């Protein structure tokens, strides 16, 4: 068995391609993960049968405890391949239960491996309410001094209420494949037309809500390679650097977001924002590798505005 | 009820609450102190600027340190759906507003939502659903997604969904359904003065987040509370 610093698949495994369970197994110290309300308990959605839809024994989210570099952490990982990782009643209840336990349990951190299209429409009202409960619980966890770190790089992205949960975390790590937004590309196109947002234009999607854009404007705190090892390293460094949940932090966030809108409010495209940030060759940003991208981030400084 | 009627009922002696571009802010005399009001009127979508404007008022209240209650009056559209809003980080702005309200709550400001019209999706989560207790007036119309959109995504006929909505509150829009979820705590009586009703809500603020308990008792979310408790118990026990 490999030692705690080198999980067997950590360096090779693609975060994007991995399942929720694979991500947790490789992210945490080997063998340290203990699942709560695991699939053997078959706590499935009571609502999906109404729609003649298949259910999952874990309702698309894996929650539990483990260690990261020897320190206790609570973890939740959404399975983007089951109903787009969307929030239903059981799914949401598992996340809320984990967060509430963290207020008293005081782990070194709570890690949220977000991979979600938002609310599960077949259980929309339950999902929406659960998201509100989760956000309240996250602020309680943070106020108890426990960092809540979001890790985003899955195939479902982080959309809808998932985007609001991301914005409630103490810190966020994101990879190229991670997309964070409220209205997804298809939702905007459906409601406002293809001239407002052409959801098939993949490059436009990345420039508007992709990991690099979020990192450049300070919407995420670390940019990762698409490996579990890279997310693990980011999580460890972000835990050590998490802001308090207090008035000072929110005042600083208010100023940070106001300044962003003043500076970039007229920009029509991500490349225009990156140019105003001082990126020399904005058109080259999408093709930069992680190291070159991190050097760019370090040069422009905006991403260091990180109150959240 | 319209916002003007609500404000007249809350503040019979007058108030200083104004609406600008669909955003509500101000205050009025209340129970020997004052009641701060923020909100969204006229089915207005909530975009990056609006979210920050409202959050600014809430943070001003926290900074004032007066522990005055904050009423969040909502008749909104969903979040503003645009390329520009997402480009500028709408998720951060909406989360920031919700966090401001949750912080105010922690600092001793009773936060009360008052849903008097429509609200949906991200705008609903960032405002009304971020309060300690959410009340509604008859005629309020919360939704996550309208049924035609649900029909498109689920590929089920609209008529089938309308039929299914009779037997479960879990997916269809409507005040009764959000009441059943426990998301809306109570429906107020529009024919009697609102001030005392809001006062009573504040006097009986739940200590903890009780929405999942209400959802179980009302049958709308039969399992959420039990699931959360089992997970919390196993996590703490492990």
Residue A238 lies in a domain: yes
Q: What is the mean pLDDT of chain A?
A: 94
Residue A301 pLDDT exceeds 90: no
User: Per-residue pLDDT tens for B160-219?
Assistant: 999 999 889 999 999 999 999 999 999 999 999 999 999 999 999 999 999 999 999 999
pLDDT band at A303 (very low <50, low <70, confident <90, very high): low
Residue A278 lies in a domain: no
By the CB < 8 Å criterion, does A291 face chain B? no
Query: Of A168-182, B136-150, B222-236, which gets the smallest average pLDDT?
Result: B136-150
User: Per-residue pLDDT tens for A105-147?
Assistant: 999 999 999 999 999 999 999 999 999 999 999 999 999 999 9
Whether residues A125 and B177 touch (CB distance < 8 A) is answered with yes
Residue B120 dihedral angles phi and psi, to the nearest 5°: -155, 150
What pLDDT score was predicted for residue A307? 86
- CB contacts of B169 in chain A (<8 Å) are 125
Contact A154, A172 (CB under 8 A): no
Q: How many domains does chain A have?
A: 1
Element (H, E) at A235: helix A228-239
Q: Average pLDDT for residues A272-283, to the nearest whole number? A: 94
Residue A218 dihedral angles phi and psi, to the nearest 5°: 85, 15
- One DSSP character per residue, B107-161 reads TT--EEEEE-SEEEHHHHHHTGGGSSEEEE-TT-EEESS-HHHHHHHHT--HHHH
By the CB < 8 Å criterion, does A106 face chain B? no
More confident residue, A140 or A187: A140
Beta strands in A25-100 (DSSP E): 34-36, 61-68, 71-78
Residue A85 pLDDT exceeds 60: yes
User: Per-residue pLDDT tens for B108-167?
Assistant: 999 999 999 999 999 999 999 999 999 999 999 998 877 887 888 788 899 999 999 988
- Closest by Cα among B85, B77, B82 to B40: B77
Can you tell me the distance from the alpha carbon of A68 to that of A65, in angstroms, rounded to the nearest whole number?
Answer: 10
B/e letters for B77-90, b = 16+ CB within 10 Å, e = fewer, are bbbbbbbbbbbbbb
Residue A147 lies in a domain: yes
Q: Which of residues 224-243 of A touch B (CB under 8 A)?
A: none
Residue A42 lies in a domain: yes
**Dihedral (Cα; A184, A185, A187, A192), 10-degree rounding:** 130
Whether residues B231 and A247 touch (CB distance < 8 A) is answered with no
Residue A207 lies in a domain: no
What pLDDT score was predicted for residue A1? 42
What pLDDT score was predicted for residue A8? 58
Cα A63 to chain center, whole Å?
15
Q: Average pLDDT for residues A192-203, to the nearest whole number? A: 93
What pLDDT score was predicted for residue A70? 98
Residue A159 lies in a domain: yes
Can you tell me the distance from the alpha carbon of B37 to that of B16, in angstroms, rounded to the nearest whole number?
Answer: 9
Q: Given the structure tokens 């369970």, which residue do they identify?
A: A21
Residue A188 lies in a domain: no
Distance (Å) from the C-alpha of residue B201 to the closest C-alpha of chain A? 19
What pLDDT score was predicted for residue A213? 97
Provide the CATH number for the domain around residue A26.
3.90.226.10
**Dihedral (Cα; B213, B217, B219, B225), 10-degree rounding:** 20
Contact A55, A46 (CB under 8 A): no
A150 to A237, B92, B100, B209: CA distances (angstroms): 13, 13, 20, 23
- CB contacts of B99 in chain A (<8 Å) are 135, 139, 167-168, 245, 250, 253
- Which domains does chain B possess? 3-140+184-206 (3.90.226.10)
Handedness of CA A85, A88, A93, A99 (dihedral sign): positive
- The whole model's pTM is what? 0.97
Query: Of A38-47, B50-59, B145-154, B223-232, which gets the smallest average pLDDT?
Result: B145-154
Residue B15 pLDDT exceeds 90: yes
Q: Which 8-state DSSP code applies to residue A7?
A: -
What pLDDT score was predicted for residue B53? 98
Nearest CA in chain A to B125: A132
Distance (Å) from the C-alpha of residue B50 to the closest C-alpha of chain A? 11
Q: Domain range holding A162?
A: 20-180+220-245
Share of chain A above pLDDT 70, in %: 96
Residue A302 lies in a domain: no
Can you tell me the distance from the alpha carbon of A179 to that of A154, in angstroms, rounded to the nearest whole number?
Answer: 8
What pLDDT score was predicted for residue A305? 67
Q: Average pLDDT for residues B79-96, to the nearest whole number? A: 97
Whether residues A93 and B231 touch (CB distance < 8 A) is answered with yes
Burial of B40 (0-12, 13-18, 19+ CB in 10 A): buried
By the CB < 8 Å criterion, does A216 face chain B? no
What pLDDT score was predicted for residue A2? 42
- One DSSP character per residue, B156-212 reads --HHHHHHHHTT-SSSS-SHHHHHHHTSS-EE--TTS-HHHHHHHHHHT--SS--HH
Q: Average pLDDT for residues B60-88, to the nearest whole number? A: 97
């Amino acid at each position: 068995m490999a030692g705690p610093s080198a999980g067997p698949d950590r360096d090779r495994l693609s975060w994007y391609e991995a399942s929720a369970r694979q991500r947790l197994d490789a992210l945490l110290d080997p063998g340290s993960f203990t699942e709560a309300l695991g699939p053997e308990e078959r706590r499935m959605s009571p609502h999906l049968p109404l729609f003649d839809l298949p259910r999952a024994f874990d309702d698309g989210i894996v929650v539990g405890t483990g260690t990261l570099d020897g320190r206790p952490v609570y973890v939740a990982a959404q399975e983007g391949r089951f109903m787009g990782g969307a929030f239903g009643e059981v799914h949401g209840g598992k996340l809320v239960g984990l967060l509430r336990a963290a207020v008293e349990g005081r782990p070194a951190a709570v890690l949220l491996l977000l991979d979600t299209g938002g609310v599960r429409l077949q259980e929309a009202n339950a999902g929406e309410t659960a998201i509100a409960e989760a956000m309240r619980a996250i602020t309680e966890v943070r106020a108890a001094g426990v960092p809540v770190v979001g890790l985003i790089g899955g195939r479902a992205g982080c959309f809808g209420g998932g985007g609001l949960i991301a914005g409630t975390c103490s810190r966020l790590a994101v990879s190229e494949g991670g997309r964070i937004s409220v209205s997804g590309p298809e939702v905007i196109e459906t409601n406002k037309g293809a001239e407002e947002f052409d959801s098939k234009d993949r490059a436009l999607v990345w420039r508007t809500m992709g990991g690099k854009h979020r990192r450049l404007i300070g919407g995420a705190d670390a940019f990762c390679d698409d490996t579990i090892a890279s997310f693990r390293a980011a999580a460890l460094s972000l835990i050590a650097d998490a802001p308090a949940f207090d008035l000072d932090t929110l005042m600083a966030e208010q100023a940070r977001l106001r300044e962003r809108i003043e500076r970039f409010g007229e920009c029509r495209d991500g490349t225009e924002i990156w140019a105003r940030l001082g990126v020399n060759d904005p058109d080259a940003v999408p093709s930069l590798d992680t190291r070159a991208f991190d050097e760019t981030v370090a040069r422009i400084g905006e991403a260091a505005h990180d109150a959240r | 009820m319209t916002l003007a009627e609500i404000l007249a009922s809350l503040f019979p002696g007058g108030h200083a609450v104004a609406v600008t571009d669909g955003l509500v802010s101000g205050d009025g005399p209340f129970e020997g102190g004052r009641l701060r009001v923020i909100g969204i009127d006229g089915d207005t979508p909530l975009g990056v600027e609006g979210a920050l404007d409202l959050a600014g008022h809430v943070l001003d209240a926290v900074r004032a340190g007066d522990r005055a209650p904050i009423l969040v009056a909502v008749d909104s559209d969903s979040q503003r759906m645009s390329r520009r809003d997402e480009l500028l980080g709408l998720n951060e702005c909406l989360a920031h507003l919700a966090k401001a309200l949750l912080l105010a709550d922690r600092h001793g400001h009773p936060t009360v939502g008052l849903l008097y019209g429509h609200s949906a999706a991200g705008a609903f989560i960032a405002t009304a659903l971020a309060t300690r207790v959410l009340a509604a007036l008859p005629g309020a119309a919360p939704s996550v997604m309208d049924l035609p959109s649900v029909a498109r995504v689920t590929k089920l006929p609209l008529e089938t969904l309308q039929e299914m909505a009779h037997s479960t509150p879990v997916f269809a829009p409507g005040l009764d359904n959000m009441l059943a979820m426990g998301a809306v705590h109570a429906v107020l009586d529009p024919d009697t003065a609102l001030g005392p009703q809001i006062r009573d809500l504040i006097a009986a603020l739940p200590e903890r987040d009780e929405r999942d308990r209400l959802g179980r008792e009302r049958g709308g979310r039969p399992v959420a509370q039990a699931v959360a408790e089992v997970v919390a118990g196993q996590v703490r026990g492990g």
